[in-house]
Structure 1
C-alpha cells in the first residue's frame, strides 16, 4: 500500500459510530495498524446522540457508521449529520447487504457502503477513495446497484462508476469469447496486463470465473453496446 500524503493535518480524525463495542474496538485496532501509511486519530460513539455531541465539538475528516443504531436507522443518522455538517464524508460499514438498506444510505448522502466481511486492505482503499472526494462501494454492493438499474443506459452508467474504461472494454471482449492473447493483441498491450484486468473484473463483480463475467456482460448489454 502506498502512503497517503496529508497536506494539512498530521492525522486523519475519524469518528466510528456503532452500538457494538467489539466492532468499535476492532475498527480502532485496524486503523491503528495502518498508521504506517496514514496516521489516524479514532474517536468512537455508541449512539447517534453521543455522535452528534462529538461532531459538535470537533471536526472529523471521516465518519464511519453502521446502518442500524438504537432507535434510529442509519439513513436518519446520515441526514442528521449532513444537516449539521453538510460536507461530512460518511462511510457505511454494515452487515446489511439488502438493496433497500444500501440505497437508503446512498440517498441520504453517504459516500460509500462496504460490508463488515471485507478485508482490512479493502477498508483502507475505501477510506482513501472517500477522503480523495470519490465514492466507494465494495464489489457485492456495487453489483447489487448495477443490477438494480432499470434500463441498459443506467446499468452501463453504474458499471462505468465501478469499472475503468479499459476494464469494460476487456469485459466486452471476454464475453465475445476472445482469449487473453487475442485481447492483448487487439488492444496492443501485454498479455499479463489482460490477466490482471481479468482478475480485477472477477473481484470487482464478485463472480467466480469467466462464465460469471460473461453473464454480467450480457446483463449490461455490453455485447451490443
Structure 2
C-alpha cells in the first residue's frame, strides 16, 4: 500500500471544545491510533464551522456547551453544509438536554467526556463506517430528556407512519428504538447480522432517516417504544 493510499484510509478528526485540556486529552488518545489523524482544533462553534469548511474532516468531536455559537447550532449548520462529515456530541452529563438538541440537529452519536479511551476510539470508527453511536445506557438517558419534548402521535398517526414497513422491519425498528445493537437484534430475532443490517437500511430509506440516532428518536415520536413499553 502506498503512502498516499494509506493516508486516504486514515480518519481525519476535528476536535471542538472550549477547554484546552479536554482537547489535549482527546488528541493524545486519538493520535495514538495508527488510523486516526487530528487535523485541527476549535474552541467554539463558529471556529469549528470555519475549520470544517476548510478541511472537510471525516469526524468532528463536538462539545455542546460553549460560549458564542454552541455545539447544537454548529452541528446543525455543519451537517447541512458537509453531509459527509459525522458529528459526535461530547457532554459531561448523560441527561444533558443540550446533547439531545444536537442529536436532533443531525449528530451521529452521543459520548460522555469520561468515556473510556478505547470506547472513544471505537465510537470514532463506528460513525466513520456510517453507523451511529447509541448505546442502550445512553439511549435510556436520552429518552428521559426527549420524551417531554415529544408530544406523541395519535394511534392512527403512528400506524400511518409505520405503514411502509414490513412486519419484520417493524420488529427491527422497535429494537433499534430500545437501543439494541445490530448484533443484539440478530440474537433476539434469530437472524444473521447481515440480515439485520439489510432490514435497518430499508427502514432508514422508508422512514426518510439519516442514521441510528434519528431512528431512535423517530421510534419514540411514533410511540412504538416508550417508558411504559
TM-score, with normalisation over the residues of structure 1?
0.63
CA distance in 2: counterparts of 1:160 and 1:168, whole angstroms: 13
* Alignment map for 1:153-192 (pairs within 5 Å): 156-159=175-178, 161-162=180-181, 164-168=184-188
1:24 partnered with 2:36: no
Q: Tell me the alpha carbon deviations over residues 103-156 of structure 1, each in whole angstroms, 9 at most, x when there is no partner.
A: 2111100001010111011111111110000110244312224566679x8864
Secondary structure of 2:75 counterpart: helix
**d(CA) in 1 for partners of 2:103, 2:81:** 18
Structure 1 residues without counterparts, runs of 5 or longer: 1-5, 171-218
| Contact 2:16–2:43 under 8 Å retained in 1 | yes
- C-alpha distance in 1, partners of 2:186/2:84? 32
How far apart, in 2, do the equivalents of 1:139 and 1:114 lie? 12
Residues 26-50 of structure 1 show CA distances to partners (whole Å, capped at 9, x for unaligned) of: 0110011222xx2323311112222
Where does residue 128 of structure 2 map in the other structure?
A: 131
Aligned to 1:41: 38
Q: What RMSD in Å do the two structures reach over aligned CA positions?
A: 3.2
Would you say how many aligned residue pairs link Structure 1 and Structure 2? 168
Asked which structure has the greater RCO (Cα within 8 Å, sep 6+), the reply is 2
Consecutive unaligned residues in structure 2, runs of 5 or more:
154-169, 191-226
Task: Pick the structure with greater CA Rg.
Answer: 1
**Secondary structure in structure 1 of the residue aligned to 2:178:** helix
TM-score normalised per structure 2 = 0.62
Query: Kindly tell me: are residues 156 and 137 of structure 1, through their superposed partners in 2, closer, same or farther at Cα, counting changes over 3 Å?
Result: closer
Distance 2:185 2:49 in 1: 40
